Structures are given as structure tokens and as C-alpha cells.
Amino acid sequence: MNNALKSYKARIMIVDIVMLILGAGFIIWQDDMMAKLILVTGVLVAVAGLILVINFLLDKDKTAFDWTIMIIGVLVLTGGILLAVFAEAVVNISVFIFAGLLVIYGIIDIATSIAVTRLTGGIWWLPLLLGLAASGLGVGIIILKTQGTDAVAIMTGIAFIVAAVGGIINAVQTFFGRKKIMGSMPPPPPPPPEFGDDLKA
């Protein structure tokens, strides 16, 4: 379980790096060459979703939390593929797609900080706040775009970076606090008695 937890956070860190790249891309290029950025973003988002799905498949002990992350990973993977395939056609609605992904990833940060990072006893509340901020920014971007505001590219980039930083903090704290996490878990149940043991007794 300890090795699985370590491997899990290493793979999630890759997703956070992808989110940082997305954030930097939005801040640097903003609205220029948006179709190409959408294509690249779609590929990166699909990779991030694929990593979440692979992470689920590689974990032997699957909890309800793992199933939730897997479902989110499938949604992210599907959204990334559609984004890459229809990049030219979705330029006008891309902001809504990116904002939706931000809300989803913010929820992942929130769930991870509560279900996993909190067990380390560290500053688990910081990624929780960053997750809330990322989701809030995603909702804010949708509202601004609905009202006709076009200058949301920089805000989108900042939101992606906020979400990524929250994920990185979760990953680092979980990596260094995995012993506490293991200690807080209940011991595994004893194996069932083999057939015939009761007769021997």
C-alpha cells in the first residue's frame, strides 16, 4: 500500500505539471493562435485524463474515492479528445470548456486534500483553499464569458496554475506524510479460517 501510494502521487504530479503548462500557455499567448492552443490543450488534457484512468487501473485496492477519480478521469479524457478533434470549431466555446475543466480539477484538489492529505497532519487546508479558488475561478470565467467579456485568457491561465499548485502541494505532503497515512488506516482483517480448521479444534 505504501508503494502504491507513492506511485499514485508520482503519477498525479505529472497531471499537475500539465496543468502548469496550460496555465502558462494561456498567460503567454492569450487569445493569439487560439485554435492551435486548443489543439495542444486538448492533447494535454486527454493525457491528464488518461493518467488518472491508468492510475485507477494500476491500483489494486480500489476505494469509492478511486472510482470517483476514475470517472472524472474518463470525463477529462473524453473532453480532451473532443477538444483536440474539433479545435477549429470550438474556438468560440473553448472558454466554457476550459472553465469546466478547472471546476472539475478544483474538485479533485478539494477531495484529495480532505480524503488523503488531511491524514498527514500538514497544511492540508491550503490545497483545499486552492481547489476552492480554482473551482470558483472556473465558475467566474463562465459568468464573465456569458456576460460578453472576452478578456478571460489571463484569468484562465491563473486559474490553471492555482489548480496545479494545489495538486502539487497535495502530492508533496502525501509523499512525505505517507507513513502517517498508513498508520491512520485500520489494520487489515485476519484471513478467514481454512476449511476443516474448525474440525481440528
Q: Which three cell numbers stand for residue 91?
A: 474556438
**CATH code, domain carrying 149:** 1.25.40
Which of these, 163, 70, 69, 65, lies nearest to 119 by C-alpha position?
65
Rounded to whole angstroms, how far apart are CA atoms 104 and 98? Answer: 10
Q: At what angle do helices 2-29 and 34-58 cross, to 10 degrees?
A: 170
Decide if 162 is inside a domain: yes
Q: How far is CA 94 from CA 30, 67, 71, 105, 162, in A?
A: 12, 28, 22, 16, 19
pLDDT at 48: 84
What φ, ψ does residue 151 adopt, rounded to 5°? -85, 70
Decide if 95 is inside a domain: yes
Decide if 201 is inside a domain: no
Q: Domain range spanning residue 153?
A: 2-179
pLDDT at 183: 60
* pLDDT tens profile 134-182: 999 999 988 888 877 666 778 888 888 998 898 888 888 877 776 666 6
Number of structural domains the chain divides into: 1
Place of cell 470550438: 90
Contact 155, 140 (CB under 8 A): yes
Report yes or no on whether pTM surpasses 0.85: no
Rounded to whole angstroms, how far apart are CA atoms 182 and 173? Answer: 14
Rounded to whole angstroms, how far apart are CA atoms 169 and 124? Answer: 8
pLDDT at 136: 93
pLDDT at 129: 93
Rounded to whole angstroms, how far apart are CA atoms 30 and 94? Answer: 12
User: Which of the four pLDDT bands, split at 50, 70 and 90, describes residue 193?
Assistant: low
Decide if 200 is inside a domain: no
Q: What is the DSSP string of 131-194?
A: HHHHHHHHHHHHHHHHTT----HHHHHHHHHHHHHHHHHHHHHHHHTHHHHHHHSPPPPPPPPP
Which of these, 83, 75, 90, lies nearest to 40 by C-alpha position?
83
* pLDDT tens profile 18-77: 888 878 877 877 766 567 777 887 888 888 888 888 888 887 777 777 788 888 888 888
Decide if 91 is inside a domain: yes
| pLDDT exceeds 70 at position 84 | yes
Decide if 194 is inside a domain: no
Decide if 145 is inside a domain: yes
Decide if 190 is inside a domain: no
Rounded to whole angstroms, how far apart are CA atoms 103 and 141? Answer: 10
User: Which of the four pLDDT bands, split at 50, 70 and 90, describes residue 1?
Assistant: very low
